Amino acid sequence: MLIKSLVKKKEFLTTVKETVTLEEALKVLEDSGFRCVPILDETGTIFRGNIYKMHIYRHKSQGGDMSLPVTHLLKNATKTIPVNAPFFKVFFNIKDLPYIAVLDESANFYGILTHTALLNMLSDAWNISVGSYVLTVASSDERGDLAVMSKIISKYVSIAGCLTLDAKRGEYVRRTLFTLPAGTDETTVNEIVQRLERKHFKVVEIDNLQSGQLMRVDEGE
């Protein structure tokens, strides 16, 4: 399961029990350096929500009672995903959260999926470490477009990575990012671009992964 492989398991996390006070929770947050941590039940198996350092600070600055249980300022109680959730579902749930709680098959707390882990996974999809160029190709999203583009590129080089994104609505509505393997030279890139555009695909951007430079940017897109 893709999600499971990205999760930081609970035994490696800093958490607080639901019975600790706000004062005790603040000390945990300050000592750990985290801006928020999960709140678990006394058994350490049920996720109750998150406690944020900023909310405790605000409460304290307003003269709030710091002996109240940490659940007084509990947040994100329903922000969870099952460990076997479809990957796309993560994007609809994590949004502005620093992480999302992950529950196992018995709905017990399994761990957290962080924004960092998610972004690292997406970065890996680019295959930057073994790539030379990334071609951003716009297409009209017709059936078979991806197969045609892949076939054209494969006549010249192997495809090190591929990521497809929706784009703005208009003549071209989908962008596909193809990572070309290390060792691909600029002449080969230009030949690939010409072949793609003869088939009415539009190469709107070419990124040189090694130099960090853009070889081409189509300002019209």
Output the average pLDDT for the chain: 89
The range of the structural domain enclosing residue 209 comes to 127-217
What tokens does 214 get? Answer: 């853009």
Identify the domain boundary among 70, 101, 120: 120
The domain tally of the chain equals 2
Q: Which among 194, 190, 181, 139 is positioned nearest to 164, based on CA atoms?
A: 139
In a 10 Å sphere around its CB, with 0-12 CB exposed, 13-18 middle and 19+ buried, how is residue 47 labelled?
A: buried
Shared domain check, 141 and 108: no
Residues 89 and 144 in one domain: no
What tens digit of pLDDT does each residue of 69-95 get? 999 999 999 999 999 888 777 877 887
Asked whether 138 and 167 are in contact (CB, 8 A), the reply is yes
96 and 137 assigned to the same domain: no
Q: Could you read off the pLDDT of 11-69 as tens digits, one per residue?
A: 999 999 999 999 999 999 999 999 999 999 999 999 999 999 999 999 999 999 999 99
- Shared domain for 66 and 100, answered yes or no, is yes
Q: Which residue has the tokens 């350092």?
A: 53
Are residues 99 and 149 part of one domain?
no
71 and 8 both lie in a single domain: yes
CATH of the domain at 208: 3.30.70.260
Alpha carbons 211 and 175: distance in angstroms, whole number: 23
In the prediction, which pLDDT does 172 show?
54
- 221 pLDDT more than 50: no
pTM over 0.85: no
